[in-house]
Structure formats: C-alpha cells, structure tokens
Chain A
Amino acid sequence: MTAQIIPSRTAAEAALAEAFANGKAGLPGAEAVARLRDESFAAFARAGLPHRRIESWHYTDLRTLMREALPIAPAPTREQLESLRKEIAALPAQSLLLVDGVFAPELSGALPQGVTATSLAAALASGRPELIESLAAAWADADDSILALNAALMLDGVIVEIAPGAKIAEPIHIVYATLGAEPSARFSRSLVKIGAGACVRIDEISLGLGGRTGQTNNALILEIGDAAEVGHTLALTDGRPGSMRLESFLVKVGARAKFDSFALITGAGLVRRQIFKLFEGPDAQGTLRGVSLLRGREHADTTLFVRHAATGCRGRQNFRYILDGESTGVFQGKVIVSPGAQKTDGKMLAKTLLLGAEATMNSRPELEIFADDVICGHGATCGGLNADQLFYLETRGLPPAAAEALLLDAFAGELVDELGHQGLVAAYRAEVAAWLAARAKSETRSAA
C-alpha cells in the first residue's frame, strides 16, 4: 500500500484561502461565474501551490519559493488613475491600460474600427455565455493550479474583440501598470478574440511605475479565428528582486491561421511563464520565441504545452537563455501530437549560454506523438561562449569584453531579428543592449 502524502497547508496557501473566502462576494460575475470561481478555487485548494513533485513545476517549486501571499491590491481610485496621466503620456497609441490588473478605459487610447475593448468585470456581468466559456479556458492541457487560482481570483482584465476580416494596421498594446503603494498581489485575466481572416498584432508591455515589488498572476487568452494573421510580443523587463510574476498565455489557433509570438524576459525576480498552445484547425502555423537574460539570483521559467489537434499544422518553438551570476533558467517544452494530427511539422529548440559558474539551466524538451505521419524534432544546447569565435574576434582587434558582448548580443539578437518588423527589432535590440551594458557595468564595479 502506498501512503498518500498530504502536505500541510503553507502560510501562503492559508492566506490565499482566506483572501478568497473574504473577497469572493465582491468579485465580478453572476452565478455561473461565481460557480466557476468556486470550482477553480477548490481545484487550487486540492492541489495547493505547485511544487517540485508536480512534473511541470519541478524546477520552480512555488510551495518553497512563495513564502507569503501578499494582500490583493484594491481597485485603483479615480484620483490614483488620474495621477498616472503624466507617467503614461509616452505610451503608444492604441494602448489598453490595466492598473493593478484593473482595466482603465479612461486612460486607454482610442481603438480603430473593428476593435472593441471592455473590462472583464463588464463582460462577466453581461452574462454572454460564449465569453464566459472563452474566459474559463477549460482545456485539458491547462489543468494547472496557478491558472485555477487566477480563475478564482480574477479581479479584472480586458476583453478585446477584433471583427472578422479587420486589418488592424497599428498594434494594440496591453499595458500592465503597477500602482500599489505597498507590495501587493494582482490577479487579472484578459481575452483577445480575433475574428476569422483578421490581421493584428498584440504587444504586451509592463510598466513598473516606481519599481515596487509584488506578486502578479496574469492570464491572457488568445482565440485566433480561421485564416487570421496574428503577431504577439511580450516584454517582461521591469522585474525587481523579490517580485514574482506568474504569466499564463493560452492560445487557440484556428484553421490556416498564422501566429507568431516573441517574449523578452530581463530583470526577472521570479518569472514563471506558461504557454498552452492548441492547434485547433488544420494547416495553421504557429511560432513561439523567447529570450531570457538573467543575472544575480533571478529565476525565469518558460514552460510550454503545444498540442497539435488538427492535421498539417506547423509549429516552431525557439528559445534562448543567457544566464549570468547565480541565476536559474528553466525551459520545458512539451509538444503533443494528438491521434489523427497527421502531417504535423513541429520543431523545438532551446539554447543556453551559461556565463556564471553558479548559474543553472534546466532544459527539458519533450515530444508525445500519437500520429504516424509527422515530422517532429527537438534539441537543447547548453554551454559557454565559443572560444574559437572569441579568439577570432580578438585577432580582429576587439578587446575580450567587447568580443564577448558582441557574441552575446548576436546570440540573443538572432531571435529578435526574426521578428522582421523594423521598429520591433530595433526596440528589442535596444533592450538586449541595455541588459548587456548593465551587466558590463556591474562587472566593472565588481572588478574594482
């Protein structure tokens, strides 16, 4: 007989249970939503915070890492929102602002024809069953206690709907701003529904607004209609030591649709990014890319579940890490080819440069294939900078630090360049350069 181990509830779990019990009456949504919240919280309570014995969380043991659950940030007041006007003045057009997880339409930019944005709270109150179903995102692969916790405690978010056939020239930005005067927690869930044949790019940006630490549990759901073309980027570049960011990204890709996503993670305290991508319709294409640049004791985990449930889809997953200091990187990629998903073409690659003697990379690509006519492959590399390349550059006159910086910039930049869009490439290249400059500066300081 095997004894079942029931771990005792941690202080963080107890605090979350209390927050849900005390706060649920005030959370938006009618009866069906309240039921969803209850069920979700029960699922979370059963599983508890994910820990190392949960395979998909093996390298990010939240039960140990999350010592306390911070109080949930209250909805921002009108005065607080008004005070942000100056700080957000430089945001690009078509920015949808979420302040501590709450959609602020009054601070958001105008949207072009064919695009609407409403708050999650309003959508939940409207009782539109198809929206609530989309928001529930009840996929088998997405059985995850952090996502369940998000469903239980989602305070707000933004629902963006893009009309079928709409060609949106300029990107739509979802901007996360952190306001709380004290360290606090935020739970938001947003949904972007993209109609068939539409064409759009969604850029997610984070604004620290003062650099306070906190805990964020965000979920973004993308439903991509048939033959739509969707670009997506995410910049997680404002983390601070002690901050915790749990990001769930759920993407359903329709038939013949094209989807391309890129994320940059720098300045992470603790980041867990989990992506659940589902190829629902045949002959779609989907690419996920990501670059994580870590130093100090930062920890960034990217975990993917990519399911090919339809025939003839092409999936590419390409991730790179540069780990300095005592940082920890995690890449887990699971590509599942369902029975009948013939002609699937899937490739996954994770490459890591380890710069710090104390840095750690955990890389685990996996394939589960239940169809017999597919092309699938995966690979992972992990090592230091190539000595021959360094020597070659040095013989051309580059001092060792400059040669190293050039190679690091190239390693990260190669994936950035695949974005194709000139403005995006320049912006993300600048972020990479800024990280390298900060690293060089801290090295100079420690050498002195």
Chain B
Amino acid sequence: MLEVKNLNVAIGERQILNDLSLSVAPGEIAAIMGPNGSGKSTLAYVIAGKQEYEVLSGEVLLNGENVLELSPDERAAKGLFLAFQYPVEIPGVATMTFLKTALNAQRKQRGEEELTIPEFMKRVKKAGEMLDIKPDMLKRALNVGFSGGEKKRMDIMQMALLEPSFAILDETDSGLDIDAVRIVAQGVNALRSPGRGFLIITHYPRLLDHIVPDTVHVMAGGRIVRSGGKELADELEKTGYREYAGESEELV
C-alpha cells in the first residue's frame, strides 16, 4: 500500500509538488493523468528516491513505513519498483548478468538466500515468454540498441522478476505502437494480484483501455485536482486538460 501525505517537493527554487496527497490500496490500480509539466514524473522519481529533488515536507509511506529517508536500493528491497519513462542504457552490462545481480541484491538486502541458477533461469524463461523477449536480447548489453518497445518490455520483465509489492509505471506507453502497448499491458495485467498496488502515470487514456484502473486521478499544478473511476479517463479523452490549465499556471 502506498500513501503520499501532504508532499511538497522543489527542485532548486521551483516548487513542483504542492501539498500532494494520494492513497493506493493493496491490489488497486491507480492511474494519474495530467498535462505536461504537472509534476507526474517528479512524483514517480521522488517516491523512488532520486536525489536531485528536495522534499520540503510530507511523507511517503510504503506498507506503512516512511521511505523518504531510505536510499533507492533500500526502497527497492522494501518492494518498490519504478518502470522508467526512458529506461536507461547500460553499455557493457549483459542483460542477463544485470537481472541476476539485481534479483540477488534485493534478496540479500531482505536477508534471503541467492537464487540457484536453475531457479533463476526458470523465472527468466517464464517472464521472457510472457513479454516476447527473445533469449538473444538477454545476451546483449542492457537496453543498448533496444527499440523503444523492447526497452519498455525489459522494464516490465524486471518487474516480473523482482515481484515488487508496489509498482509505478511512468508513461510506460510513450513511444510505443499499438502492439507494443498490448504486450506491455498483458505483462502488467499478469502481475496484478491482491497484494500488489500499481500507480500508472500516463498522458493518454489509450493505455487504460488495456490496463483498466480502479481509480483515476488528475494531476495539475503539482497536486491531485480531481479523482474518480475509469469513467474519468474516458471523460478526459473527450475534454482534454483545458479545464485544468489554470491550475497548472497558478501553481507551477
């Protein structure tokens, strides 16, 4: 479960998140929509622990524990996962090596045994098949030379292997064609479970046709300005973000 309470965040002199509060229950899929510059990605980065942001006040509770004092790796070990809008290329690190290193690093932080190689391979095979990731891709350097769709699928594959209790998907649909959106969405839907919450950040309602959210929040000017169900996304598809433009200008 994720609870964001009265979060105020700045970068330099500029305040980006403004007394933002949000709660996502276990098993819930919450979507955040909003215009460019409303602070959606900042929220994702702050929850994941990126350092360049200054948290002025507020709390981010993951399963009841405030994670703002924790480093990104400690948050990951507590069960947090961020799928990046632009997954980073890591030249020289074979994807398979990276997956194993990441999985075992989290297990170690949690005081668990490393996975045996056969067990690891079994899990990789299963996740790879679900996301149409060919074994050849796993031998290549992580995300290097991958297409946009391949990078996003690789991020979802990592999520499948790391089995987080809460996952944030930051504009996972951006730059993807219809087929790629469908494959990514299938991957996410396969990971839905009563104990796992999702926060899906997107500009476009299209993704929400494939991953049907329980709640939809509109973000503008660094705060949640409206909340509702899936029908809110459908409404935004028709009306756009015009009515929230004033909020953005006023607060950002």
- A residues at B contact (CB < 8 Å): 386, 388-389, 391-400, 402-403, 406-407, 409-411, 413-414, 417
Contacts and interface: CB of A to CB of B under 8 A. Distances in A.
Interface stretch (B85-93, B190-198, B228-236): B85-93
- Chain B interface size band reads 20 to 34
A contact patch SS: helix
A396 B158 contact: yes
Contacts of A392: 84, 87-88, 90
A406 B98 CA distance: 9
Given A388-B88, A407-B90, A414-B92, A395 B48 contact: yes
Interface in B71-98: 71-73, 75-77, 80-82, 84, 87-88, 90-93, 98
A428 to B, nearest CB: 13
Given A392-B90, A393-B90, A414-B92, A398 B49 contact: no
Contact of B109 (A397, A400, A413): A397
A400 B71 CA distance: 9
Contacts of A389: 88, 90
B90 A391 contact: no
A399 B158 CA distance: 17
A410 B49 contact: no
A71 B93 CA distance: 47
Given A395-B48, A398-B105, A410 B73 contact: no
Contact of B73 (A388, A399, A407, A411): A399
Contacts of A394: 49, 71-73, 76
A392 B84 CA distance: 8
Contacts of B87: 392
A96 B42 CA distance: 61
A397 B93 contact: no
A397 B162 contact: yes
Given A391-B72, A392-B84, A398 B101 contact: yes
A414 B76 contact: no
B102 interface: yes
A402 B100 CA distance: 13
Interface of B: 48-51, 71-73, 75-77, 80-82, 84, 87-88, 90-93, 98, 101-103, 105-106, 109, 141, 158, 162
A395 B82 contact: yes
A406 B101 contact: yes
A44 B102 CA distance: 56
19 contacts: A391-B51, A391-B88, A392-B84, A392-B88, A393-B98, A395-B72, A395-B81, A396-B76, A396-B106, A397-B73, A397-B76, A397-B102, A397-B106, A399-B71, A399-B105, A407-B90, A410-B90, A410-B141, A414-B92
B102 A411 contact: no
Nearest to A417: B92
Nearest to B99: A396
A395 B170 CA distance: 13
Contacts of B73: 394-400, 403
Closest 9 CB pairs of A and B: A410-B92, A397-B106, A394-B72, A414-B92, A396-B102, A392-B88, A397-B76, A397-B105, A410-B93
B102 A398 contact: yes
B91 A410 contact: yes
B30 to A, nearest CB: 20
A100 B76 CA distance: 54
Contacts of A398: 73, 101-102, 105
User: Interface centre among A388, A393, A396, A417, by most B CB within 10 Å?
Assistant: A396
Given A394-B49, A397-B73, A414 B82 contact: no
Contacts of A395: 48-49, 72-73, 75-76, 80-82
A414 B162 CA distance: 27
Nearest to A394: B72
Given A393-B102, A396-B102, A397-B76, 18 more contacts: A388-B88, A389-B90, A391-B50, A391-B72, A394-B76, A395-B73, A396-B76, A396-B98, A396-B106, A397-B106, A397-B162, A398-B105, A402-B105, A406-B101, A409-B92, A410-B91, A414-B92, A417-B92
Nearest to B88: A392
Contacts of B98: 393, 396, 406
Nearest to B72: A394
A172 to B, nearest CB: 30
User: Interface centre among A398, A402, A407, by most B CB within 10 Å?
Assistant: A398
B92 A413 contact: yes
User: Interface centre among B80, B93, B141, by most A CB within 10 Å?
Assistant: B93
Contacts of B48: 391, 395
Contacts of B76: 394-397
B92 A411 contact: yes
A50 to B, nearest CB: 35
A404 B151 CA distance: 22
Nearest to B86: A388
User: Interface centre among B81, B91, B92, B98, by most A CB within 10 Å?
Assistant: B92
A147 to B, nearest CB: 35
A394 B82 CA distance: 11
User: Interface centre among A394, A397, A403, A409, by most B CB within 10 Å?
Assistant: A397
User: Interface centre among B49, B101, B141, by most A CB within 10 Å?
Assistant: B101
A433 to B, nearest CB: 13
Nearest to A399: B73
Nearest to A402: B105
